[in-house]
Amino acid sequence: MLIGYHASHEQFSPSELLNFVQAAERAGFGAIMTSDHIAPWSEQQGNSGNNWAWLGAALATTSLPFGSLAIPGGWRYHPALLAHLAGTLAQMYPNRFRWIAVGSGEALNESVVGSGWPEKAERDARLRAGADVVRDLFRGETVTVRHPWFAVEEAKLWSLPARPPEIFGAALTAKTAGWMAGWVDGLITVRKSKESMQELVGRFEDNGGRGKPLVLQLQVSWAASKEEARLAAWQQWRSAAAPPTVLADLKRPKDFDEFTKILIPADMDELIVLVTVGSELLEILDELASCGFEEIYVHNVSRDQYGFLRFMAQEVLPHIK
């Protein structure tokens, strides 16, 4: 099992986050995963640096492999531009910029370019079309296509990596996992109940995903006590209460704050794993492994990242097989 560290651009400035991933490597994490936002989920988080600019510095100052979320549907990033960004990083850092996880995006990030926010069916169509463009460019092809949402004319990557990033599908539901299974190189999702995760993995494998990598982002709130962990989760990550449809359609951080304003700290027990000792996290990691996930990125939503990294180095990572 590979245990990675999730770098949350929404919560920390790019310079802070650079220090955290360097510290994560020293702590013994095996890889890094990053988000790709232009706005945070809450005004309480207060940050959102450019992921692609930051990745160049992060790869240059660590030796770990990286993966990143990416939205190829043609809003913030035209798929040819996205392929150019990811391909350049993979060429500069061979075998270290390993994958991009493509999704249909959220209005929070993509609507800022002023081209509207369509229904899910169109977002999925744009996702598939954009991912196909990215894959063809990674193969070294010259691409010309015209879609209702974006066009590509004689695009080609002239600085190709020896090994381009794999294209994973980011899925929150079993339906989406099944739809993606046949055309992505792997799956990434977030932790849910064991039954929900088994259903999602089963749908993926039954529709063409069998044998492909299974990756998971695990959100936890670490602190010295459950009360501190609960309060940190409530202050920083109440957006976890938003179902996928709401998560995709709210446009501003203050909209998420408004949607979750009725929550109290005790509600976070059902949304975020509260961790104080290593055995609690190791038990959850065992559960995830039993569902087939072999690459898990732990996202500590509390502000105390250095304390969390010390905790992982002392109580968790030495016990991972």
Q: Which residues are catalytic?
A: 37, 106
What single-letter amino acid sits at 256?
Answer: F
Phi and psi at residue 34, to the nearest 5°: -125, 150
Task: For 66, list phi and psi in degrees, rounded to 5.
Answer: -130, 155
- In single-letter form, the type of residue at position 274 comes to L
Q: How many CB atoms lie within 10 A of CB 35?
A: 19
Question: In this structure, how many other beta carbons lie within 10 angstroms of the beta carbon of residue 302?
Answer: 23
Please report which residue ranges of the chain form alpha helices under DSSP H: 14-27, 51-60, 79-92, 107-110, 120-138, 174-180, 194-204, 226-236, 244-249, 253-259, 278-290, 305-311
Q: What type of residue is 204?
A: F
Q: Are 206 and 178 in contact (CB under 8 A)?
A: yes
Both structure tokens of 281: 């996290």
CA dist list (Å): 304 to 62, 168, 177, 223, 275: 21, 30, 33, 8, 13
